[in-house]
Amino acid sequence: MNRLWIHTSLLCVICRLLRFGFSLFLRSGLFSGFGFGDSGPLRSRQDFPLCGHSGSFQGFPIRHDLRLPGQRFLLKTMAETKNTLAAALPFAMDPVVYDFSINEHGTRADLLERGAALMPSGYYRFIVPKLLRMDRHELGAPRLAELDRFAAACRTRPDLKGMVHTLFDAIFPATDDDPDSHDSLNSLLDRYGFDRVMHGQIREDLKAGRIGLAQNRLPANAVIEDVFESDLTDSRSLPDDVRDLGMTALQNGEVAVVTLAAGAGSRWTQGAGVVKALHPFCKLGGRHRSFVETHLAKSRRTGRLCGTALPHILTTSYFSHEATRRFLEQHGNFGYEGPLMLSEGKAIGLRTIPTTRDLRFAWEEMPQQTLDVQQQKVRDSLRAALIQWAESAGETADYTDNLPAQCLHPVGHWYEIPNLLRNGTLTSLLKTRPHLKTLVLHNIDTVGMDVDPALLGHHLSSGAGLTFEVITRRLEDRGGGLARVNGNPQLVEGLAMPREEDEFSLTYYNSNTCWIDIDALLVAFKLTRADLRDPEKVAAAIRLLAAKMPTYITLKEVKKRWGHGQEDVFPVCQFEKLWVDMSHLPSIETRYLAVPRLRGQQLKDPAQLDGWLRDGSAAYVESLCDWT
């Protein structure tokens, strides 16, 4: 009997998903030994664990005469699983199945002499471009001798044929951005709804200093105080009759759910380029569930309780739309009975070269880690070079010297509701649900949120255009909260806090769940339901209201890869507008509702999961879900 070893280098979750398939395969008799197949009954998975850490080896004994079918089965199963989850989980590599052979000689080496004393060709593809940029006196005699032998070998050795062309491409890489290509920068901007008028205005404001890193903050003389108890309503004290009001609205089809599912959740995935909404974040109802499936299960339960299926809208972006569409299609929309719609993002930003004013503010005014003398010299030298780059490239000029995807940026979740107006999603929904009056907006990671009839009834009875939910703050809750600004209660983003310590005096933290009266919202945009069929009027209304919203400027580091493995990192400027700033507008009445932490807590980092499971939050979410 041979042993087939599988180097997965994948996440543990793949092996968990494969266990069922493996068990069927094992029962078929292809595996033998250790209680498998013909040798005895199938043993438990505790005896033969299938999952391991990334980079580990997993072994399965296979009957010798069925080794090749088993090998093909394992590779096919793992590849299919990886392709299904490619947009949901970060994978370091494709799955690999291979055999190990016994090394009869142990560790050994070959001695190469004279002209044969060269490293493999791949080594020179990587190292020679760097060496050619150095002065001859910096290389040293041994390195120069090696380069001489390498140059001679390029003329005679077949395996080094074409090396000159390879090195030339590495030193002077060609751009991949064909202006006629379907994925060129201009075509992507047009496809994703780039507003050139708004972009030009933001560039002018940025160059004139009307917006910038320093201008993100409220004025230093702004009075930031904690709110009074009279400024908000405690959900625990709601009267019984508001629940009946909310249940009636649900039965009449007056409510739809809008889930913000456009982002990658970089904190959750530690920077991997996957869609957070699709991530199987926790084991609920007997198996691992994604954020999307969890929210659909809650909407399914609410729809069955009231007798009317809830429309559920998932907002997407240029980054997540196609991946989310495929994921839902593969899973049959998780059997969701109600209308399930994807609201494709129709707003995109183009990154710009930062101003030296913002670079100096970020490096000199913001808190910085203290380095030793030599490290500080290196950092200062690098920053001086980047300031010189910004000046030579043109401050506030469009950043286009990179791959198209690296030049684009999301513009903030304020645009997600306007996108419903612009892309026709709301128009389509109003056509099928003419009685629709209320939208409930929430983050994909606010997993404890559901369409509670009592909270809905409170929002309807208050007559407010917007009702924001808040929770009591804990130490780890950072990013602003509910405050009185110069005597007026409003939600304040962390970027807008004039002093960092002001945030710690606030009792309530924003959960970003918001109940929205559709007609009051349209009044704020100076639109009517009939106007939604006029794209030009809608675009003008969105642009007009966007100009009244605060614009937050941030600096992001982007990589520019070139040649074979070389890369540079540059700071670029981008902006965003946030939905919570709607609470500042006098044209729409805003109320605030304090809800339990189990409902409003957000999962931003996997490190929160242990506490989330222990404090009863997971059990609470399971009680809100109907998985079948």
Taking 60 as the threshold, does the pLDDT of residue 574 lie above it?
A: yes
Q: Which of 203, 116, 102 lies closest to 157 in space, CA to CA? A: 116
Q: Which of 77, 109, 113 lies closest to 95 in space, CA to CA? A: 77
Please give the pLDDT value at position 431: 94
Cα(first)–Cα(last) distance of the chain, in Å?
Answer: 44
Pair 421, 525: CB distance under 8 Å: yes
* Cα(625)–Cα(620) distance, integer angstroms: 9
Please give the pLDDT value at position 46: 34
Using CA atoms, how far residue 201 sits from 103, 198, 211, 546, in Å, is 68, 5, 11, 11
Pair 568, 446: CB distance under 8 Å: no
Kindly state the tokens that stand for 478.
Answer: 């950072």
Taking 90 as the threshold, does the pLDDT of residue 156 lie above it?
A: no
Taking 60 as the threshold, does the pLDDT of residue 73 lie above it?
A: yes
pLDDT band at 138 (very low <50, low <70, confident <90, very high): confident
Please give the pLDDT value at position 531: 95
Taking 60 as the threshold, does the pLDDT of residue 200 lie above it?
A: yes
Query: What is the arithmetic mean of pLDDT over 240-255?
Result: 95
Identify which has the larger pLDDT, 494 or 399.
399
pLDDT digits (tens, 9 = 90+) for 595-605: 999 999 999 88
Please give the pLDDT value at position 513: 95
pLDDT digits (tens, 9 = 90+) for 303-328: 999 999 999 999 998 888 999 999 99
Q: Which of 433, 410, 472 lies closest to 596 in space, CA to CA? A: 472
Tell me which amino acid residue 124 is: Y
Residues pairing with 256 in the sheet: 439
Taking 80 as the threshold, does the pLDDT of residue 380 lie above it?
A: yes
Kindly state the tokens that stand for 539.
Answer: 């675009």
- What integer best gives the mean pLDDT of the chain? 84
Query: What is the arithmetic mean of pLDDT over 14-19?
Result: 47
Pair 409, 351: CB distance under 8 Å: yes
- Look at strands 349-350 and 408-409 and give their pairing: antiparallel
* Cα(56)–Cα(605) distance, integer angstroms: 25
Please give the pLDDT value at position 170: 67
Q: Which of 491, 547, 545 lies closest to 521 in space, CA to CA? A: 545
Taking 80 as the threshold, does the pLDDT of residue 70 lie above it?
A: yes
Taking 50 as the threshold, does the pLDDT of residue 22 lie above it?
A: no
Residues contacting residue 490 through CB under 8 Å, at least 6 positions apart: 482, 483, 484, 583, 584, 590
Please give the pLDDT value at position 65: 82
Pair 469, 513: CB distance under 8 Å: yes
Pair 249, 255: CB distance under 8 Å: yes
Burial state string for 119-151 with b = 16 or more CB within 10 A and e = fewer than 16: eebeebbebbbeeeeeeeeeeeeeeeebbeebe
Query: What is the arithmetic mean of pLDDT over 569-588?
Result: 94
Question: Edge-to-edge, what's the strand order for the sheet holding 233-234?
Answer: 233-234, 590-594, 466-472, 508-517, 438-443, 255-260, 312-315, 340-343
Please give the pLDDT value at position 38: 35
H or E element at residue 511: strand 508-517
Residues contacting residue 472 through CB under 8 Å, at least 6 positions apart: 507, 508, 509, 594, 597
- The percent of residues in the chain predicted with pLDDT above 90, rounded, is 54
Residues contacting residue 16 through CB under 8 Å, at least 6 positions apart: 50, 51, 288
- The percent of residues in the chain predicted with pLDDT above 70, rounded, is 87
pLDDT band at 30 (very low <50, low <70, confident <90, very high): very low
* Cα(533)–Cα(285) distance, integer angstroms: 43
pLDDT digits (tens, 9 = 90+) for 90-124: 887 888 887 777 788 888 888 888 778 888 878 88
pLDDT band at 43 (very low <50, low <70, confident <90, very high): very low
Taking 50 as the threshold, does the pLDDT of residue 12 lie above it?
A: no
pLDDT digits (tens, 9 = 90+) for 399-408: 998 988 899 9
pTM equals: 0.80
Kindly state the tokens that stand for 579.
Answer: 């939905």
Q: Which of 446, 597, 460, 448 lies closest to 516 in space, CA to CA? A: 460
